C-alpha cells in the first residue's frame, strides 16, 4: 500500500496552493480546494483506517462513500507544500450522509475548511452535469473582487463584460459565469445558491468575496479562475477611461463561429 505523502494528486494540489498564494489569491488562511478522489486512487493508497469522525453541517446522500482531499480550516496555502499532513486531510462521507470519516491528515486535530458545505454541494451539482468534474477551487483574486463592487451583479451582464475584455474568455467558458450577491460565507445558504449556479456554470463569483471554479483537473479549474481574473484586471485597469476600440458583440459572434464554439447566445446582443 502506497503512502499518501507520495501521491501525485497530493503533490499537484500543494503546488497549486503555493502558486495561488504567490499570486495573492489566497491571503492568510483565505481560500480552499477540494478534490474528489477516484476509487482507483483510494485503493492504491493507505486510506482504509478511520482516524476519527468529523460532523458535517448538512446532509449529502449522493456523496456517501466518496473520498475528498480538502484543505483545512484556518490553514495557510503557503504552508501546504511543506507540511501537507497538517494542512490537508482526506475524508470519506459516511453512510449517514452527515459525517466525514478522516482517513488521512489534519494531524494537529483540525478539520476541513469552514466552506465545506459549498464545496460538497458544488461537487454534487457538477457531478450531475459532468461526472468527470472533480475539482472545486475557491480563492480571492484582487480584480474580480474589486469588479464585484462596481459592476451589476447578474450573470448575463457580468459574463458579457468579462467576455469583452478578452475574446479568449468565450472560448474558455462559453457557458458563461454565475454571480451571487454578498452572502454569509460558510453557510448552507451560500452553498445551496452556489450549487444552483454550478448546474449551469463552472465559475461562480461571490460578490465582495471571491470566486469558485470547477473542473476535471487542477489545470482546468486554475485556468478558469486565471482567465477570469486577467479579464477583470483589464476591466479595472481601464476604469473610467472611454473605450474607443472595443471588442463588440459582433466580434465575439464571429470569433465563436470561426472557432466552432457553442456559447450562451442570450448573453450577447
Report the distance separating Cα 73 and Cα 12, nearest Å. 20
Residues 178, 157 within the same domain? yes
174 plus 266 within the same structural domain = yes
User: How far lies 15's CA from each of 82, 84, 130, 219, 227, in Å?
Assistant: 10, 11, 25, 11, 19
pLDDT band for position 1 (cuts 50, 70, 90): confident
CA distance 200 to 15: 29
101 and 184 both lie in a single domain: no
Residues 6 or more apart whose CB falls under 8 angstroms from that of 118 comprise 136, 138, 185, 186, 190, 191, 194, 195, 212
Average pLDDT taken over every residue of the chain? 96
Residues 82 and 203 in one domain: no
- How many domains does the chain divide into? 2
pLDDT in tens, 193-242: 999 999 999 999 999 999 999 999 999 999 999 999 999 999 999 999 99
Catalytic residue among 41, 81, 101, 115, which? 115
pLDDT tens per residue, range 168-199: 999 999 999 999 999 999 899 999 999 999 99
Instruction: Report yes or no: 16 and 80 within 8 Å, Cβ to Cβ.
Output: no
Domain check: are 152 and 66 in the same one? no
**Model pLDDT, residue 247:** 97
Residues 58, 125, single domain; the answer is no
One domain for residues 148 and 92? no
Q: Which domain holds residue 11?
A: 1-114
- pTM for the full model? 0.94
**Given 95, 114, 133, which residue is the final one in a domain?**
114
pLDDT of residue 186: 87
115 is catalytic: yes
Summarised one tens digit per residue, pLDDT across range 94-134 is 999 999 999 999 999 999 999 999 999 999 999 999 999 99
Amino acid at each position: 500500500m502506497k503512502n499518501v505523502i507520495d501521491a501525485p494528486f497530493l503533490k499537484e494540489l500543494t503546488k497549486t496552493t503555493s502558486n495561488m498564494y504567490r499570486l495573492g489569491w489566497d491571503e492568510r488562511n483565505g481560500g480552499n480546494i477540494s478534490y474528489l478522489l477516484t476509487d482507483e486512487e483510494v485503493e492504491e493508497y493507505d486510506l482504509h483506517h478511520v482516524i476519527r469522525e468529523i460532523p458535517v453541517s448538512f446532509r449529502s446522500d449522493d456523496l456517501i462513500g466518496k473520498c475528498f482531499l480538502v484543505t483545512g480550516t484556518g490553514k495557510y496555502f503557503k504552508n501546504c507544500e511543506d507540511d501537507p499532513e497538517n494542512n490537508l486531510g482526506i475524508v470519506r462521507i459516511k453512510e449517514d450522509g452527515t459525517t466525514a470519516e478522516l482517513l488521512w491528515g489534519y494531524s494537529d486535530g483540525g478539520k476541513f475548511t469552514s466552506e465545506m458545505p459549498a464545496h460538497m454541494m458544488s461537487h454534487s451539482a457538477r457531478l450531475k452535469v459532468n461526472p468527470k468534474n472533480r475539482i472545486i477551487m475557491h480563492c480571492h483574486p484582487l480584480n474580480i473582487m474589486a469588479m464585484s463592487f462596481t459592476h451589476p451583479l447578474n450573470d448575463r451582464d457580468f459574463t458579457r463584460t468579462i467576455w469583452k475584455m478578452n475574446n479568449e474568455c468565450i472560448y474558455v467558458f462559453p457557458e458563461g459565469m454565475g454571480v451571487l450577491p454578498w452572502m454569509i460565507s460558510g453557510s448552507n445558504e451560500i452553498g445551496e445558491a452556489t450549487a444552483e449556479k454550478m448546474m449551469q456554470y463552472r465559475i461562480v463569483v461571490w460578490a465582495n468575496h471571491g470566486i469558485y471554479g470547477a473542473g476535471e483537473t487542477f489545470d482546468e479549474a486554475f485556468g478558469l479562475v486565471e482567465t477570469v481574473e486577467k479579464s477583470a484586471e483589464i476591466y479595472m485597469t481601464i476604469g473610467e477611461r472611454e473605450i474607443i476600440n472595443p471588442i463588440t458583440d459582433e466580434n465575439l459572434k464571429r470569433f465563436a463561429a470561426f472557432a466552432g464554439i457553442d456559447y450562451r447566445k442570450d448573453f450577447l446582443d
